[in-house]
């Protein structure tokens, strides 16, 4: 069994991007990311900090816009439109969740697709499904990058995803399909889940339930990708996969922390640099 080191791979990606950014800067192109956060979600604050650290390391200029919990939709959309027009800004990221009183889908739709480095705008979602050049949602993008780096075959194999969210599960279907995998997607209404997951050559868990995937759900020799980030009552950070059990059965597995999480941030940086190159 081999542990897929997302932390190390993400570091390599950042190092390569740093060199690329230096070249861009010598040509007068200064990549810049704007991050909008609404309210005081604690987990979001940690994610945003990681993104700002990565920008710093890669040489991307980072600007944060912290909006109050009681921000109106008009105020949020007004800020997004302002950032759309700001020629210094290459990428705009709206950190989710935002307060329930606001319509996050409308906010995502308002971001200029050319600056949509999270790949959540319907234009980018549509292009991904047509296998056209676009901004790919960072977590699925990072998962594909990890599979490719570890030379794990995707073409022709059976990939099973648990979780159908717009940010992970659904775009991952397209990413895997574009690489010629046979894809099955499961969710909370799936019957006989274990029977389905046991068929997976590549099993991806994006559920949000601590240690949900147990050894009996996994085929011997499978590659297991754990997207989940869950804080247990004792404060320990765990994924959606029971690492202890499953690692004995899998041939490759991602750890939590240090797997998909850092890759997601590295792919965000990749998308910001791409946006800067596209625009200038
Ligand atoms: P969502 O809550 O949006 O989606 C969870 C999905 O899991 C849903 O499709 C749901 O089904 C499905 N599900 C829930 N319970 C079951 C069950 N018993 N059996 C089968 N399927 C089930 O989650 P996200 O996709 O946003 O996030 C998933 C996890 O990944 C979270 O822990 C999150 O923190 C983490 N995450 C990590 C990232 C990273 O960079 N590492 C990035 C994004 C998320 P249904 O649709 O039927 O409700």
Same domain, 212 and 250: yes
Whether residue 156 is contained in a domain is answered as yes
Spatial separation of the C-alpha atoms in residues 213 and 194, rounded to whole Å:
9
What average pLDDT does the structure give for the chain?
Answer: 97
Same domain, 174 and 257: yes
Q: How far is the CA of 61 from the centre of ligand 1 (A)?
A: 31
- What is the tally of structural domains in the chain? 2
Whether residue 132 is contained in a domain is answered as no
Output Rg (C-alpha) for the chain, integer angstroms. Answer: 19
Whether residue 55 is contained in a domain is answered as yes
Confidence of residue 209 (pLDDT cuts 50, 70, 90): very high
Ligand 1 atom at minimum distance from 189 CA: 47
Confidence of residue 110 (pLDDT cuts 50, 70, 90): very high
Q: Which residue from 241, 259, 227, 205 is spatially nearest to 5, judged by alpha carbons?
A: 259
Domain that holds residue 241: 138-261
> 114-138: per-residue pLDDT in tens?
999 999 999 999 999 999 999 999 9
List residues with catalytic annotation: 51, 95, 118
- Domain stop point among 66, 96, 112: 112
Please determine, for residue 173, whether its predicted confidence score (pLDDT) is greater than 90: yes
* pLDDT given for residue 113 in this prediction: 98
Confidence of residue 279 (pLDDT cuts 50, 70, 90): confident
> 50-101: per-residue pLDDT in tens?
999 999 999 999 999 999 999 999 999 999 999 999 999 999 999 999 999 9
The token duo for 82 is 């302002």
Assess whether the C-beta atom of 191 lies below 6 angstroms from ligand 1: no
Spatial separation of the C-alpha atoms in residues 136 and 168, rounded to whole Å:
11
Assess whether the C-beta atom of 42 lies below 6 angstroms from ligand 1: no
**What is the pTM assigned to this prediction?**
0.98
Assess whether the C-beta atom of 168 lies below 6 angstroms from ligand 1: yes
Cβ–Cβ < 8 Å for 105, 122: no
């Amino acid at each position: 069994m081999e542990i897929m080191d997302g932390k190390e791979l993400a570091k390599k990606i950042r190092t390569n991007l740093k060199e690329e950014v230096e070249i861009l800067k010598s040509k007068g192109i200064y990549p810049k990311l704007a991050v909008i956060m609404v309210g005081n979600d604690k987990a979001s604050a940690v994610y945003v900090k990681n993104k700002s650290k990565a920008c710093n390391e890669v040489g991307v200029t980072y600007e944060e816009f912290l909006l109050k919990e009681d921000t109106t939709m008009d105020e949020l959309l007004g800020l997004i439109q302002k950032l759309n027009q700001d020629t210094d800004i290459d990428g705009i990221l709206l950190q989710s969740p935002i307060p329930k009183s606001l319509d996050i889908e409308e906010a995502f739709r308002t971001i200029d697709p050319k600056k949509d480095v999270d790949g959540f705008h319907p234009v980018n979602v549509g292009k991904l499904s047509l296998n056209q050049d676009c901004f790919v949602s960072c977590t699925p993008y990072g998962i594909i990058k990890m599979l490719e780096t570890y030379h794990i075959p995707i073409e022709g194999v059976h990939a099973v995803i648990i979780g159908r969210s717009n940010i992970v599960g659904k775009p991952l279907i397209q990413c895997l399909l574009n690489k010629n995998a046979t894809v099955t997607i499961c969710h909370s209404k799936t019957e006989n889940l274990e029977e389905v997951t046991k068929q997976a050559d590549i099993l991806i868990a994006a559920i949000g339930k601590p240690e949900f995937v147990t050894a009996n759900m996994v085929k011997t020799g499978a590659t297991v990708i754990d997207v989940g980030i869950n804080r247990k009552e004792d404060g320990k950070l765990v994924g959606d996969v029971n690492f202890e059990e499953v690692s004995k059965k899998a041939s490759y597995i991602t750890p939590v922390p240090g797997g998909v999480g850092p890759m997601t941030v590295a792919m965000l940086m990749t998308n910001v640099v791409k946006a800067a190159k596209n625009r200038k």
